[in-house]
Structure 1
Amino acid sequence: MITITAATGQLGRLVIAELLESGVPASEIVAAVRNPQKAADLAERGVQVRHADYDQPETLEPAFAGTGKLLLIPSAIYGQRFPQMKTAVQAAVAAHVPLVAYASFVNAATSTLRLADEHKQAEACIRESGLPFVFLRNGAYTELYCGELGDLAPALESGRMIGSGGNGKISGAARPDLAAAAAAVLTGDGPVNTAYELGGEAFTLVDVAAEFAAQSGKPLVYQDLPVEEYAKTLVGWGVPEPFADLLADTSFAISRGDWHTGSTDLQQLIGRPATPLANVVTAALKAL
């Protein structure tokens, strides 16, 4: 049995879709979710839906019972990810889960990114638990750089895309590719106690702007800002200051190389080239 936590999130749903597509019977897939009502469509397809709330520890061990392979997808709540993952790992130990796969960050072991700190702690916790593990160190979602944060329309209107990444390279990966990689690990018999660095073909923020300009026919250039100025600009747009500082650090991390990897792990796991930036841009423009 394969259990996916945060199964109604964007990545979780894609992983379940990949598992079903690969031939895993729906009855052998568990969608472990905070709100089972949101997983009604999965239940209709025959997927087992179990209540599993990271903030309600008593729900986790029963949700993990009978699991052969467990994919832990952390929540998006900064500052709570590690405590939640620690609780989930303890439940996995109690449920005698034979393998834990953890959705981490690319270069988690060496990253200077503030957002990576909790992933480092979670990876250490899993190692210390004694559970066999696989770390899926996901590259930055390419979709985030292509308007998923709601900044595409204003950028196209103003002709300016801003950030603090300089000419740094991003080994971005589309969510469906990362979901396919996770499904490959969960259905395969590859090595354990290992980490995969999952990045696609590298691009810069200049490349992103140029691709949007080429496909939309509208002028769009990337303007690099000092990290402090970028954070202040975000605050001026109504972003709360602590979150603006975090977003600016995330962008500045591009210039430090934190989002780049030369690894071909992603392509090897999914058995094909990663989705190109151009494809994600095309989808983003269609969605406007």
Structure 2
Amino acid sequence: MITVTAASGNLGRLVVEDLLQRGVPAGQIVAAVRNPAKAADLADRGVQVREADYTRPETLAAAFAGTDKLLLISSSEVGQRQAQHKNVVQAAVDAGVAQIAYTSALNADTSGTKLAEEHRITEALIRESGLPYVFLRNGWYIENNTENLATAFQFGTIAGSAGDGRISGATRADLAAAAAAVLTTDGHDGNVYELGGTPFTMTEFAAEVAAQSGKPVAYQNLPADAYTQMLLGAGLPAPLAALLVDSDLGISRGELFTTSTDLERLIGRSSTPLTDAVATAVKTA
């Protein structure tokens, strides 16, 4: 039995789809979700849909019953992850899960970003639990950038504080495929995979958007304070603005870059090129 948490989210759904495409019987897949109604379509296809709220341990015990391999997709609630993930890890121990795979962050053990800190704490929790584990240190989702192209087209710029830092970005689909590969094959216990695609800078990303769309788009690098004020002026909550700026500064320091080929080895092909990812996004922007 393979259980995927946050299975109604963007990454979780892709993992479930990949498992099905790999021939895993629907009845042997558990989609563990906070709101089962949002996964009704998966239930219609025979996938077991179980309620699993990271903040309510009593739901986790039932959700993980009979689980052999568990994919813990990290919580999206920044600042709350430590407590939520602790609940999941304890429930996995209680359920006798044979392996836990965790979607961590690229270079989590060395990165100085605030995002990496929470992932580093979760990795320690998992190691201390005694459970056989696999850490899937996911690189920056290319979609973090491509999902905001409407704003780029409106103003003709993509702003940030990433400087000339190289980003080993990857699509969610590629990272989901890597997770599915780990969940359906053996020999991964204790492994830490740094999962990044072909690197690019934000200047190169903006140039690709301009080339694919035929619209003038350029990257504008800003000092951290100026970028923060811009985000606040756009209506972003202060904690989120601070997190985005902090992540960009991490990029400028090279903390979202890797030379690892783990992603390509796990998915058995080259990662999706930036050109393809941008082309797809431009069509729907």
Q: Structure 2 length as normaliser, TM-score?
A: 0.98
Specify the alignment match of 1:221 in structure 2: 218
Give unmatched runs, 5+ long, in structure 2: none
For the residue of structure 1 that corresponds to 2:215, the secondary structure is coil
Specify the alignment match of 2:140 in structure 1: 140
Work out the CA distance in 2 between the residues paired with 1:154 and 1:107.
30
- For the aligned residues, what is the CA RMSD? 0.8
Specify the alignment match of 1:53 in structure 2: 53
Match of 1:263 among 260, 268, 278: 260
Work out the CA distance in 1 between the residues paired with 2:175 and 2:272.
10
Q: Does 1:186 align with 2:183?
A: yes
Q: Does 1:154 align with 2:151?
A: yes
Work out the CA distance in 2 between the residues paired with 1:67 and 1:201.
35
Work out the CA distance in 2 between the residues paired with 1:37 and 1:75.
19
| Alignment coverage as a number of residue pairs | 285
Specify the alignment match of 1:173 in structure 2: 170
Give unmatched runs, 5+ long, in structure 1: none
For the residue of structure 1 that corresponds to 2:97, the secondary structure is coil
CA shift, 1:65, in A, is 1.0
Superposed counterparts of 1:7-46, under 5 Å: 7-46=7-46
CA shift, 1:141, in A, is 0.2
For the residue of structure 1 that corresponds to 2:219, the secondary structure is strand
Q: Does 1:115 align with 2:127?
A: no
CA shift, 1:239, in A, is 1.2
CA shift, 1:228, in A, is 1.3
Match of 2:160 among 156, 159, 163: 163
Q: Does 1:276 align with 2:273?
A: yes
8 Å Cα contact 2:182-2:188 kept in structure 1: no
Work out the CA distance in 1 between the residues paired with 2:243 and 2:49.
34
Specify the alignment match of 1:95 in structure 2: 95
Q: Does 1:70 align with 2:70?
A: yes
Superposed counterparts of 1:124-139, under 5 Å: 124-139=124-139
Q: Which amino acid aligns with 1:97?
A: V
Specify the alignment match of 1:203 in structure 2: 200
Q: Which amino acid aligns with 2:113?
A: L
CA shift, 1:193, in A, is 1.0
Q: Which amino acid aligns with 1:266?
A: L
Specify the alignment match of 1:83 in structure 2: 83
